Amino acid sequence: MPAREELKFEEALQKLEGIVRALEGEGLTLEESLDRYQEGIKLVRLCRQRLQEVEGKLQALLIQEGDVVEKEINLAGGENYGA
């Protein structure tokens, strides 16, 4: 299993949906349902984090002295999309 950091957003969401379905069903013991709930809470936090960690950057790839560099850019003549 990949580390939490590597878990993709949709994978986390899929796991969360599975946990919610299990919690809504009748098959779990009390202890299991609490374990699942805690796992679900972790996934919710992970997903929220993912929604927040993007920075809204617009970058361009430029070739400088043979190396590829990522440089932040703005779109000229309009809204400032860069910051």
Indicate the residue among 4 and 9 with the shorter CB distance to another protein. 9
Indicate the residue among 1 and 54 with the shorter CB distance to another protein. 54
Confirm if 50 and 9 have CB atoms less than 8 A apart: yes
Please, is 24 exposed, middle or buried when counting C-beta atoms within 10 Å of its C-beta (0-12, 13-18, 19+)? exposed
Here the tokens at position 39 are 């796992």
Here the tokens at position 31 are 């202890």
Indicate the residue among 4 and 75 with the shorter CB distance to another protein. 75
Given the rule CB under 8 A, which residues bind another protein? 8-10, 13, 16-17, 19-20, 22-24, 28, 30-31, 33-34, 36-38, 40-41, 44-45, 47-48, 50-52, 54-61, 68, 70, 73, 75, 78, 81
